[in-house]
Amino acid sequence: MSKDKTNVESFDLDHTKVVAPYVRLAGVKEGQKGDVVHKYDIRFKQPNKDHMEMPALHSLEHLMADRIRNHSDKVIDLSPMGCQTGFYVSFINHDDYEDVLNILELTLQDVLAAKSVPACNEVQCGWAASHSLEGAQALAKEFLAKRNEWHQVFGE
């Protein structure tokens, strides 16, 4: 099948060639003042084969977005993918891939130790009824169990 190039990096990624779980540098942007933003694709589930259930994904997003900032002041944003297979995280002026992996590992260990989901209420969350701490922790545990595979993006 032929495909046209798009303006979205992930749309141009051949999702049939990647093998989750992985952490992939998905883009680098340099600002006018010299700041550099590195965006990473944190893929938990194999595209078009599996996905994260929304309550677990939602809670994992809350937990990771909150906890990752305990391990780096370079985080701009952590956000879920609409396809429910992973997240994007962006760092400013931080291009050390191995350190990013370590930051993610520490963050996911924090998720496993969590007793509650932060901002899980109607004042701070747009869909507070859709959360699962247990589901988020199961996803974190599964991803951490394959830590040695995170750098391998493409299959044979």
Threshold 0.85, pTM exceeds = yes
On the question of pLDDT at 145 being above 80, the answer is yes
The string of pLDDT tens digits covering residues 7-40 is 888 888 999 999 999 999 999 999 999 999 999 9
Domains annotated on the chain, with CATH: 13-147 (3.30.1360.80)
Residues found in the chain: 156
For 88, the token pair is 């994007």
In whole angstroms, how far apart are CA 29 and each of 12, 26, 40, 75, 124? 17, 10, 12, 14, 30
The string of pLDDT tens digits covering residues 120-139 is 999 999 999 999 999 999 99
Question: Buried b vs exposed e over 112-149: b needs ≥16 C-beta within 10 Å?
Answer: eebeebeebeeeebeeeeebbbebbbbbbeebbeeeee
The string of pLDDT tens digits covering residues 76-124 is 999 999 999 999 999 999 999 999 999 999 999 999 999 999 999 999 9
Identify the pLDDT of residue 4.
82
How many whole angstroms separate alpha carbon 91 and alpha carbon 100?
A: 9
Q: Span 47-53, mean pLDDT? A: 98
Bridge-based pairing of strands 86-92 and 75-80 is antiparallel
- Can you state the percent helix, strand and coil of the chain, rounding each to 5? 35, 20, 45
**Is the model more confident about 3 or about 124?**
124
Q: Span 33-62, mean pLDDT? A: 98
